[in-house]
Amino acid sequence: MSSNPMEQAKPWRLAARAEKMNPSVIREILKVTEKPGIISFAGGLPSPKTFPVAEFAAACAKVLKGDAHASLQYAASEGYGPLREMVAAALPWPADAAQVLITTGSQQGLDLLAKVLIDEGSRILVETPTYLGALQAFAPMQPEVVSVPSDDEGVVIDDLEKKLAPTLAAKAAALPPEGARSPWGGPAANKSAGARFLYVLPNFQNPTGRTMTEARRTALSERAAALGLPLVEDNPYGDLWFDVPPPAPMTARNPDGCVYLGSFSKVLAPGLRLGYLVAPKPLYPKLLQAKQAADLHSAGFNQRVVAEVMADGFLERHVPTIRALYKSQRDAMLAAMREHMPAGVSWNTPAGGMFLWVRLPEGMDAVALLPTAVEHNVAFVPGAAFYADHGDPRTLRLSFVTASADEIRTGVAALAQAIRQHAGKA
């Protein structure tokens, strides 16, 4: 044993919640993609071709020329007023800018919600599969995460009620009278449906690329409202539709029963680290307090720059160019899949967003396939990463937005060859 007291000392005792923190599977896979020659379908990164560099350069200069000191000073925790007003005005339901909280990426919105709404052992519901980053944000609060099955139309309502059934009867006696019920009113209200909230991504979902239908949104909104079940609606991809826009957000149907999350990362640039949440008025103060404790405020300079870029309706001109690019890349991937994939491999056709959801032949495992794929210089994310429980080992996610059309064709052909090789070993 060393006699050096510095080597013997163990001053850092981890909190129990730290044990629940895990590295991002996707971030670990992205390290592999740094290998020269790797074609990566793994990351959920927007295409750099869509970053409006010239507009940002001009906006930065204008902000610094106009009010440099204010833009570089500490700022309000709620966010830059004009930007909050822009967000509120763009929402497809009447909302007050006072309900908008600017966050350091929409990922921070998930973290704030976890801190404010989840106690150890709290039951939360997530559609399955779901966004990996949400599972990571919720995990340190040590909830009971319950997966609710979804299909090509969205969350399966009957399965949602089955998940809630064991606790609904026990909670029924504690419910306030109909009409007085509020899902955000405190611990008792938040447990009224036996769960703190249901987390959903209805538009071009990460990882599946699916979009919840109008009928399913209506049914889910109505059932959640009847049960007093809050909804957390995450919508980072909603503007990235290819042919027709998706149905209206569920928050538009029941604003008082939903928290809505949005992001500037997919339509402007992720390096800004700016997103927002729109919360019911009873819940907003606690989310604001959690924000103040976390980082005081999101980058004030960046907020002013984004507001300047957006001031003249820039997104109305810019977003259609993103849609056109991503649609062409989706089509290139679909064509390559049809040409190269062996029998037994299936995939969907997303109507927007960034991802294709693939299912391997019977008996194959996407996690076991990944090393073989990397040997063929192509990477993907196994679908198992997106399940709160034991998921379908045959699934995997492919991103089509960062690779060129030629890279997509080459990468899909390589992946198909890896599948054939791995199937021969199985």
pLDDT, tens digit, 9 for 90 and up, residues 130-147:
999 999 999 999 999 999
- Same domain? For 180 and 235 the reply is yes
> In 341-390, where does DSSP find H-type helix?
366-375
**Among 256, 290, 313, which residue terminates a domain?**
313
- Same domain? For 79 and 138 the reply is yes
Contact indicator for 110, 206 with CB cutoff of 8 Å: no
- Same domain? For 125 and 238 the reply is yes
Domain membership of residue 260 (yes or no) is: yes
**Among 258, 283, 313, which residue terminates a domain?**
313
Domain membership of residue 247 (yes or no) is: yes
Rounded to whole angstroms, what are the CA distances from 302 to 73, 80, 100, 255, 295?
A: 12, 10, 17, 28, 15
Q: What are phi and psi of 50, to 5 degrees?
A: -90, -5
Number of folded domains that form the chain: 2
List the structure tokens of 420: 């054939």
- Same domain? For 222 and 75 the reply is yes
- Same domain? For 266 and 341 the reply is no
Domain membership of residue 1 (yes or no) is: no
Please tell me the pTM assigned to this model. Answer: 0.91
**What integer pLDDT is reported at residue 243 of this predicted model?**
97
Which residues have C-beta within 8 Å of that of residue 168, sequence separation ≥ 6? 193, 194, 227
Whole-number Å distance between alpha carbons of 324 and 302: 27
pLDDT in tens, the chain (426 residues): 555 655 565 778 888 888 777 776 666 777 777 778 999 999 899 999 999 999 999 999 999 999 999 999 999 999 999 999 999 999 999 999 999 999 999 999 999 999 999 999 999 999 999 999 999 999 999 999 999 999 999 999 998 988 887 655 445 444 444 444 566 655 444 445 689 999 999 999 999 999 999 999 999 999 999 999 999 999 999 999 999 999 999 999 999 999 999 999 999 999 999 999 999 999 999 999 999 999 999 999 999 999 999 999 999 999 999 999 999 999 999 999 999 999 999 999 999 999 999 999 999 999 999 999 999 999 999 999 999 988 899 999 999 999 999 999 999 999 999 999 998 865
pLDDT digits (tens, 9 = 90+) for 356-394: 999 999 999 999 999 999 999 999 999 999 999 888 999
Counting beta carbons within 10 angstroms of the beta carbon of residue 375, is it exposed (0 to 12), middle (13 to 18) or buried (19 or more)? exposed
pLDDT digits (tens, 9 = 90+) for 271-310: 999 999 999 999 999 999 999 999 999 999 999 999 999 9
Nearest to 98 by CA among 353, 227, 283: 283
List the structure tokens of 166: 């064991």
Domain membership of residue 3 (yes or no) is: no
Domain membership of residue 225 (yes or no) is: yes
List the structure tokens of 18: 């730290």
For residue 254, give its domain range.
67-313
List the structure tokens of 329: 């890349």
**What integer pLDDT is reported at residue 180 of this predicted model?**
42
- Same domain? For 170 and 299 the reply is yes
Q: What is the CATH number of the domain that holds 185?
A: 3.40.640.10
- Same domain? For 275 and 405 the reply is no
Domain membership of residue 268 (yes or no) is: yes
